Amino acid sequence: MLRVGSVVLRVDDLQRQTAFWAAALDYLPREESDDDFQLLRPRDGVGPNVSLDLHRSELHVPPRIHLDLYADDQTGEVKRLIALGATEVHWDKRPPDADYVILADPEGNRFCVIDAG
């Protein structure tokens, strides 16, 4: 049996991205950390880890892979994430009745906030 243990994001600024993703997901950094890698784990122990790898990489638009984050209060979560440093990504092909909002983290890595309510 396989399961997702961790999703790894390549980042340029490990401290800034650790602060953003830990606050965004309510995750905790693993106590032992390296200068070039940080594992974040769910505070409640449920769900996959998110690992941040300090490794310069080219940003692809559209990205080859992105996170879909489910929210009971999509509007509130989008506002909170923007206050943490995310930016909204406008896409002219997004349907008017879409149940998702596209955001980018402080380094431009895109993710969607899905209305799960």
HEC string of 54-83 equals ECCCCCCCCCCCCEEEEECCHHHHHHHHHH
For residues 93 and 34, the model is more confident at 93
The C-alpha atoms of residue 117 and residue 43 are separated, in whole angstroms, by 22
> C-alpha distances in angstroms, 103 versus 35, 69, 92, 98?
27, 10, 14, 14
CATH value at residue 4: 3.30.720.120
Sheet holding 87-88, edge to edge: 67-71, 110-115, 100-104, 87-88
Query: What mean pLDDT is reported for the chain?
Result: 94
Beta bridge partners of 7: 50
Is 114 found in the same domain as 76?
yes
Is 84 found in the same domain as 41?
no
Q: Would the pLDDT of 63 be above 90? A: no
The C-alpha atoms of residue 78 and residue 98 are separated, in whole angstroms, by 14
Is 87 found in the same domain as 48?
no
Give the pLDDT confidence of 29-38 residue by residue, as tens digits.
Answer: 988 778 899 9
CATH value at residue 109: 3.10.180.10
For residues 117 and 94, the model is more confident at 94
Is 70 found in the same domain as 42?
no
pLDDT at 32: 76
Global pTM value: 0.92
Identify the weakest region by mean pLDDT among 20-29, 59-68, 101-110: 59-68
pLDDT at 106: 97
Is 71 found in the same domain as 41?
no
* Boundaries of domain holding 116: 65-117
Closest listed residue to residue 17, CA positions, set 36, 31, 4: 36
The C-alpha atoms of residue 86 and residue 110 are separated, in whole angstroms, by 9
